[in-house]
Amino acid sequence: MRNIDNKNNKVKYENLSDRSEKDKPWDIHRKDCDAVSNLYFQSSEFEKYYERMEDCSGRLEFNQLMNRETGELTIKLSKAHFCRVRHCPVCQWRKSLMWKARFYKALPEIEKEYKSARWMFLTLTVENCEITELKSTIQWMNKSFIKMIQRKHFKKNNLGFVKTTEITRSKDGKAHPHFHVLLMMKSTYFKSSYLKTSDWAEIWRDCLNVSYVPVVDIRVVKNKLNGDANKSALADAVAETLKYAVKPADMTKNRDWFHELTRQVFKMRFVSTGGVLKDLFKEETTEEDLLLLSEDNEDDNKEIGSVCFNWYKSKSKYRRKIE
Ligand SMILES: [Zn+2]
């Protein structure tokens, strides 16, 4: 019997995406990682990044967990190697998840302490620049932002902020750097100091010291989570603020553009915080941080061994062999 079985036993695979709904994004991000690292491979200047990214998250080890009450089986990442190359799509994604987790962990305490505070979501832009001028443009925007937060009106009404930099690529190959800012405002702002979008644009214009009116967007974010952290307006604003700096699709459109972007933003900081949100994030992360180990409630689950999935480049899937 055994012999016959062996003959008919072809190697079978289980896909990570079939095993775990919440781990489906792994395939997408790791595929993006291959596309981006391939661009680094094409230049000796960036070969080191290529080598590090090749080693990124090739093997994922998960703990298998069984819910003590329902018996439901889930898996939770327990071990992986992360390259932490700045533009690595996998590491960018993990970092974003980590930031969001930290924000939501700190949120109840913050909202308890500042009950009447309300969230706003601000987007600040400038005219597109050449990719070779990206660094100086962002430096100038940063200085202008500091001018803005030192103004009386801002100081008087703002409790804290989280600001991130995003860069998109416009059709003509220019760079479009812009800031996403999550603002925590005092309730007095809405009573006596409220500014229209055009007022914010004028302040930003003045801080930039330009003659054109920059595109600015400001909106009030619904304050409460409504019991569902994934569907609230605040969650949308947080997700928009704490996401990638450059989307992978923009990285891979043009090799030379992406190489120049890499040079331009080298060592630049893209996350800053202030006021009562000041110590929420740090930009540097450890491998351990990116595993997001402390994410959920461990007590409900019983560990029942581990399981590993490997990246199959040619299939663009994480899989594991099964007997
Ligand atoms: Zn990576």
Residue with the larger pLDDT of the pair 259 and 304: 259
- Share the mean pLDDT of the chain: 91
Question: What is the Å distance from ligand 1's center to 287 Cα?
Answer: 10
Neighbours of 45 (CB within 10 A): 11
Q: Per-residue confidence at 223, pLDDT binned at 50, 70, 90?
A: low
- Integer angstrom CA distances of residue 4 from 7, 9, 152: 5, 9, 82
Q: For residues 270 and 164, give the distance between their C-alpha atoms in angstroms, rounded to a whole number.
A: 5
Q: Per-residue confidence at 258, pLDDT binned at 50, 70, 90?
A: very high
Contact 159, 276 (CB under 8 A): yes
Most confident of 107-111, 221-225, 273-277: 273-277
Question: What is the Å distance from ligand 1's center to 57 Cα?
Answer: 7
pLDDT higher than 90, residue 310: yes
Neighbours of 70 (CB within 10 A): 8
Task: List pLDDT tens digits, range 170-212.
Answer: 999 999 999 999 999 999 999 989 999 999 999 999 999 999 9
Q: Torsions phi, psi of 58, nearest 5?
A: -70, -30
Q: pLDDT over 90 for what percent of the chain?
A: 75
Question: What is the Å distance from ligand 1's center to 200 Cα?
Answer: 37
End-to-end CA distance of the chain: 16
pLDDT at residue number 2? 44
pLDDT higher than 50, residue 3: no
